[in-house]
Structure 1
Amino acid sequence: MAKARTRGARALVWLVVLIAGLTGANLAAVQWGGGSWMPQLALDLEGGTQIVLEPRLAEGESISQEQLDQAVSIIRQRVDASGISETEITTQGGRNIVVALPGEPDAATLQRIQASAKMEFRPVLASAAANAPGATPAPTEADPEAEAEASAPTDAWDQAWITPQVQADFDAFQCSDVDPTQVADPTKPFLTCSNDGTARFILGPVAVDGANIADAGVSAATNSQGQATGGWAVNLELQGDGPSNFEDVTRAITGLPEPTNQFAVVLDATVLLAITSNAIITDGNAQITGGFTQDGAQSLADQLRFGALPVSFQVLSQETISPTLGASQLQAGLIAGLIGLLLVIFYSVLQYRALGVVVVFSLLVAAILSYLVVTFLSSTEGYRLSLAGIAGLVISIGITADSFIVYFERIRDELREGKHLSSALETGWKRAFRTILISDAVSFLAAVILFLLSVGNVRGFAYTLGITTFIDIIVVALFTHPLLRILSRTRFFSSGHRLSGLDPQALGAVYRGRAKFRTPTLEGKGATSAKEAQRRQTIAERKSAAATTGKES
């Protein structure tokens, strides 16, 4: 008895620790992470910013629907890389892309949207430090076809691309001349700078297209023997024509003197990274190293993975938009949740008497945990609560109530069999918890699948449904069952008070020890319950009861 009480108290202590930990995490996010004690709202409830992207095309070029769909997919990945923000990304007129962001997006998110140029890999033909101020501006793109040369270049890394005119342009070129909106001809050399403005480059024509990047990830850097070097590396995987083109360029430049043994990753008309080729890559899988920190390597991997748009875009317009649903719909959703909560409480009190109080407090604990988790994710992961997300929270009330019903009915079944309350509590818990786990596992799996296969508001619904399903298990295991363990030691519940919801007589229990049953004296409902209990007797128990009745008579 004391042991069960101790186990119940220990579980409640762990619950208090969990709530305190989540509260502390939210406090830290508010104090030092720019977070808030209120969840951020999604586009449908708060409004936000609408950005219209227009493709940058050379004269005579057009964009196909396939390219447009691919661009939408990549931009969505860029935005979602910072968290679940309920962003709406659509196409307009078969040409433009419309990105609607909730609230006021931060600079990093806007940069992800606007930095939508096409990624390219170009060989480095020459490089130099950035020019001193005062140099004469020059065009950023050279046209070697306009120059008479004895020999024409044969490949992208051929030094013949550096004609006297190109060299003169490069000498006069400075980084302030770089135009991020410029669409460079992929078949000609290109003058540009590093994205930090510290170096200038003459780059050859495009050797590998960014659209050939299949994936980019982060791992610990290793040497040629496969031993860890203590740093971080970016693993690049190519597809399509990428592997063969990458092999050609690495085979040609590996072993050349600097900077001709390098090729540049170009994004937004600037060099994102100049990579030195140390080996010939034949399978399209390369490892990029260079003293990266883990965050630096992850940032580069994200840019490589999400930066390969099939067509370059520029911002056509940016404006603030009003919410599509607004505060009235939010209020309606909250009222619906409150009505559902009150109905669950009313049913619980009507059906389970004083046990309904346990339901009320359990729902309160579930609400506190859900609020703290959603608020923390909103502050740290960019999650925004939409009307669909609120629907997921409302549905969770039913999921949690279902767990209570399963548990309480298991206990009452045990009491009907004549067991003492403490024994019925533990036996009922073991049987009920397995059922609750299976039920919640199915709900959680459905939420995960829905989250992975959907976009927009539907993901918000799946997100909150998954969170609250997991919280349901925590509440039942760390609060509801431990609280019942403690309450079962009180006289009100242990004596089976008629208002406790655990009255054996009201439940129809007739078992009073081995092969001993009380004589049914109740009429109506009580009599029916007694007959039901006698029907459940085994053959041996019936014979024993008949013999006892014969002796008494």
Structure 2
Amino acid sequence: MLTVALFASIFAGTRWGDASLTPNLALDLEGGTQIILRPVAEAEGRVTSETIDQAIAVIRQRVDASGVAEAEITSQGGNRIVVGLPGRPSEETLDLVRTSAQMEFRPVLVMGAATPTTPAEDEPAAEDGAQDPAVEDGAEDAAAAEDAAAAEDAAAEEPPSDEPGKASPDSPSDVAYYVTPAVQAEFDALDCTLPENRTGGVPGDPEKAVVACDLEGLSKFILGPVEIPGSEIATATSGLGTTQTGASTGQWVVNLEFTSKGTPRFTEVTTRLATSTPPLNQFAVVLDALVISAPSVNEVIPNGQAQISGSFTRETAATLANQLNFGSLPISFEEQSVEQISATLGSEQLEKGLIAGVFGLLLVVVYSLFQYRTLGLVTVASLLVAAVVTYGIIALLSWVQGYRLSLPGVAGIIVAIGITADSFIVYFERIRDELRDGRTLGAAIEKGWERARRTILASDAVNFTAAIVLYLLAVGGVRGFAFTLGLTTLVDLLVVFMFTHPLMVLLGRTRFFANGHPASGLDPRRLGVDVPHYAGRGRVRQPETQGGSSTTRQPVTVGAPGASGQTIAERRAAARAAQAAAAPPHDPPTTVDDAPTDGRPEGSDR
């Protein structure tokens, strides 16, 4: 029933979902996409082996969290990172690899329309916080002409000054100090409607004001210095927003929780912003030099828990949460190349591995049939059931969890053939031992199962523990081997308990096996049931015969009278006497008259 339910789920997924009857394959068996990342020019001097290793760890966490398994992430040349993703990864997964995800929280100083502006157009935005002032159709041409004229005049003039208007700032929201003429000119000329201005980049100087666009190109900002770095985020999760009464808003949001160090700093920031006028009451969440959200602060947030809302979908909210949850890359990278790679070498190795697996399986089948006769067919049937269940579980995991089968994973499945066959051999040998002790087949199956069950559980527990340790400590392909090894160990237990033992109980009720047919593998004569043997603890099993056939056997204690009323010494003496009687006749030895056996003179009283 479990197998039927398993494959019914997969068939339902193929009809109403994106499931497949075949498991997804990893990079070494299917090929995929290879991305090479190199540090940006500004970060070249900070590249070390430690920063590369840290960046690899962050990228691996992001990729694993996106549901892509068996990705290969390595360093190249000491300053580049090679990321291999199996199959055709989604754009969201590729963005997780490409994005540095360096997070900053900066106060908003000026907010305006996304198009290029003049100082006169920008002043109302700084005063009333208008996020997207409308531009009348008739004024577009005039505005364009004014921008062109302003650009010509600026080319002939001296560059605007970058000196602040006062000696020191009153706070990070001090517009007079941070909005220098140079910053204002950069803000005026920025056009956030152009896609090339919304690709992100290297974050600006954390001590100075910066100009940035939002993700969707609807607004542009002048932002103050960094007040809280992204490293102070403890956790980030995505979900549907809720009101104060607990009702769902129906909008996807990202929930942030700051560390113990970042919480008091965030409380200080929200205390200042809550009493400011728009847009100075807003703080910008900046990701790779792009503003992903600029929420207003209406009250002090003392517990370090914030919520980012905006035009999120379920996928984009989850992607952002993953980026923030796994921290920032130590340095910024840019994409050097993207190419598709094939799986020619892996396919050849898979073919050879499958040939080896089939050959090993045939050896197990031949041994089982030779050693256990018809009983060996139970081993074959159990192996087939285990193979079907394993295949179904891997196909199901490929659908619901994004699991991908790699070449090391195939090796783990091949190794499991021996583990599974070993469980059946232990069980069969326990049954045969009980038959040698004189039990009927039905009793031998139950007693043998009690003994074999403990051994099988202990053996599989060791294998499963080893698989867990290997999975936790290893990376890459070795984890694939550990996963399939642990999976097939659990399948072995499932098959032995749910299939092999019940099948043996049913077979024990048939005449073919119960009567010990020579071809059954349970033939009493082949097992030595009619031969006396040592049973341990000073006991010898002796068969009793009726009509020439063996029926039951009773234990005879060594050194005590047996069923024949003789001790072992007496039986040995009788055996020697019988051997002497059978010897050829020869001259009798010289004898003396019989005397009393106790050595006293003849005729004396006892």
Q: What is residue 172 of structure 2 aligned with on the other side?
A: 156
Over 3 Å counting, the alpha-carbon distance change for 1:192 and 1:545 in structure 2 is farther
Distance in 2 of aligned mates of 1:59 and 1:390: 41
Q: What is residue 271 of structure 1 aligned with on the other side?
A: 291
Q: What is residue 34 of structure 2 aligned with on the other side?
A: 50
From 338, 348, 352, give the equivalent of 2:358.
Answer: 338
Distance in 1 of aligned mates of 2:503 and 2:359: 26
Distance in 2 of aligned mates of 1:541 and 1:417: 20
* Deviations 1:15-72, CA, capped at 9 Å, x for gaps: xx22222212222333344343222322223332221112224388432332222111
Q: What is residue 208 of structure 1 aligned with on the other side?
A: 228
What SS is found at the alignment partner of 1:430?
A: helix
Report if aligned partners of 1:33, 1:379 keep a CA contact under 8 Å in 2: no
Report if aligned partners of 1:119, 1:309 keep a CA contact under 8 Å in 2: no
Matched letter for residue 46 of structure 2: S
Distance in 1 of aligned mates of 2:426 and 2:465: 20
From 164, 172, 175, give the equivalent of 2:192.
Answer: 175
The structure, 1 or 2, with the larger RCO (C-alpha pairs under 8 Å, 6+ apart) is 1
Over 3 Å counting, the alpha-carbon distance change for 1:443 and 1:388 in structure 2 is same
Distance in 2 of aligned mates of 1:444 and 1:328: 30
Moved more, 190-199 or 72-81: 190-199
Report if aligned partners of 1:26, 1:375 keep a CA contact under 8 Å in 2: yes
Distance in 2 of aligned mates of 1:365 and 1:155: 71
Residues 1:370 and 2:390 are matched in the alignment: yes
Distance in 1 of aligned mates of 2:314 and 2:559: 71
Residues 1:447 and 2:467 are matched in the alignment: yes
From 539, 543, 558, give the equivalent of 1:518.
Answer: 543
Distance in 1 of aligned mates of 2:248 and 2:462: 42
Matched letter for residue 523 of structure 2: D
Residues 1:357 and 2:357 are matched in the alignment: no
Distance in 2 of aligned mates of 1:390 and 1:60: 41
Distance in 2 of aligned mates of 1:431 and 1:221: 57
Query: How do residues 429-440 of structure 1 correspond to structure 2 at under 5 angstroms?
Result: 429-440=449-460
Distance in 2 of aligned mates of 1:65 and 1:187: 28
Moved more, 455-464 or 80-89: 80-89
Q: What is residue 421 of structure 1 aligned with on the other side?
A: 441
Q: What is residue 404 of structure 1 aligned with on the other side?
A: 424
Report if aligned partners of 1:188, 1:204 keep a CA contact under 8 Å in 2: yes
TM-aligned CA deviation for residue 344 of structure 1 = 1.0
Query: How do residues 31-430 of structure 1 correspond to structure 2 at under 5 angstroms?
Result: 31-58=15-42, 61-127=45-111, 128-130=130-132, 146-160=162-176, 161-163=178-180, 166=183, 170=187, 173-177=190-194, 178-185=197-204, 186-217=206-237, 236=256, 238=258, 242=262, 245-257=265-277, 259-275=279-295, 278-281=299-302, 286-288=305-307, 298-323=318-343, 325-430=345-450
Query: How do residues 19-38 of structure 1 correspond to structure 2 at under 5 angstroms?
Result: 19-38=3-22
What SS is found at the alignment partner of 1:384?
A: coil
TM-aligned CA deviation for residue 169 of structure 1 = 5.2
Report if aligned partners of 1:117, 1:313 keep a CA contact under 8 Å in 2: no
Report if aligned partners of 1:57, 1:312 keep a CA contact under 8 Å in 2: no
Distance in 1 of aligned mates of 2:566 and 2:240: 79
Give unpaired runs (5+ residues) of structure 2: 112-129, 152-158, 533-539, 569-573, 575-606
What SS is found at the alignment partner of 1:311?
A: coil
Report if aligned partners of 1:33, 1:380 keep a CA contact under 8 Å in 2: no
Report if aligned partners of 2:160, 2:181 keep a CA contact under 8 Å in 1: no
Residues 1:491 and 2:511 are matched in the alignment: yes
What SS is found at the alignment partner of 1:175?
A: coil
Distance in 2 of aligned mates of 1:415 and 1:499: 16
| Alignment RMSD | 4.0
Distance in 1 of aligned mates of 2:222 and 2:170: 17
Count of residue correspondences: 516
TM-aligned CA deviation for residue 163 of structure 1 = 4.9
Distance in 1 of aligned mates of 2:358 and 2:50: 46
Q: What is residue 587 of structure 2 aligned with on the other side?
A: none
Matched letter for residue 395 of structure 1: V
What SS is found at the alignment partner of 1:188?
A: coil
Over 3 Å counting, the alpha-carbon distance change for 1:60 and 1:499 in structure 2 is closer
Give unpaired runs (5+ residues) of structure 1: 1-16, 522-526
TM-aligned CA deviation for residue 401 of structure 1 = 0.7
Over 3 Å counting, the alpha-carbon distance change for 1:434 and 1:256 in structure 2 is farther
Over 3 Å counting, the alpha-carbon distance change for 1:233 and 1:269 in structure 2 is closer
Matched letter for residue 176 of structure 1: T
Over 3 Å counting, the alpha-carbon distance change for 1:398 and 1:281 in structure 2 is farther
Distance in 1 of aligned mates of 2:357 and 2:11: 27
TM-aligned CA deviation for residue 390 of structure 1 = 0.7
From 545, 549, 553, give the equivalent of 2:563.
Answer: 545
Q: Which has the larger radius of gyration?
A: 2
Residues 1:456 and 2:476 are matched in the alignment: yes
Report if aligned partners of 1:157, 1:249 keep a CA contact under 8 Å in 2: no
Q: What is residue 11 of structure 1 aligned with on the other side?
A: none
Distance in 2 of aligned mates of 1:455 and 1:430: 39
TM-aligned CA deviation for residue 426 of structure 1 = 2.0
What SS is found at the alignment partner of 2:20?
A: coil
Over 3 Å counting, the alpha-carbon distance change for 1:516 and 1:92 in structure 2 is closer
Report if aligned partners of 1:121, 1:208 keep a CA contact under 8 Å in 2: yes
Moved more, 80-89 or 212-221: 212-221
Distance in 2 of aligned mates of 1:126 and 1:450: 54
The percentage of counterpart residues that share the same residue type is 49
Over 3 Å counting, the alpha-carbon distance change for 1:20 and 1:504 in structure 2 is same
Distance in 2 of aligned mates of 1:295 and 1:27: 26
What SS is found at the alignment partner of 1:472?
A: helix
Report if aligned partners of 2:556, 2:562 keep a CA contact under 8 Å in 1: no
What SS is found at the alignment partner of 2:345?
A: coil
* Deviations 1:323-375, CA, capped at 9 Å, x for gaps: 36232211101001101111111111111111111111111111111111112
Distance in 1 of aligned mates of 2:441 and 2:559: 22
TM-aligned CA deviation for residue 124 of structure 1 = 3.0
Distance in 1 of aligned mates of 2:423 and 2:107: 63
TM-aligned CA deviation for residue 195 of structure 1 = 2.6
What SS is found at the alignment partner of 2:42?
A: coil
TM-aligned CA deviation for residue 144 of structure 1 = 9.2
Over 3 Å counting, the alpha-carbon distance change for 1:544 and 1:86 in structure 2 is same
Moved more, 446-455 or 246-255: 246-255
Distance in 1 of aligned mates of 2:65 and 2:353: 29
TM-aligned CA deviation for residue 165 of structure 1 = 6.2
Distance in 1 of aligned mates of 2:160 and 2:460: 67
* Deviations 1:264-302, CA, capped at 9 Å, x for gaps: 3322332234455554547xx535376999877654431
* Deviations 1:162-202, CA, capped at 9 Å, x for gaps: 45665565466443243424323133223334334444433
Report if aligned partners of 1:213, 1:308 keep a CA contact under 8 Å in 2: no
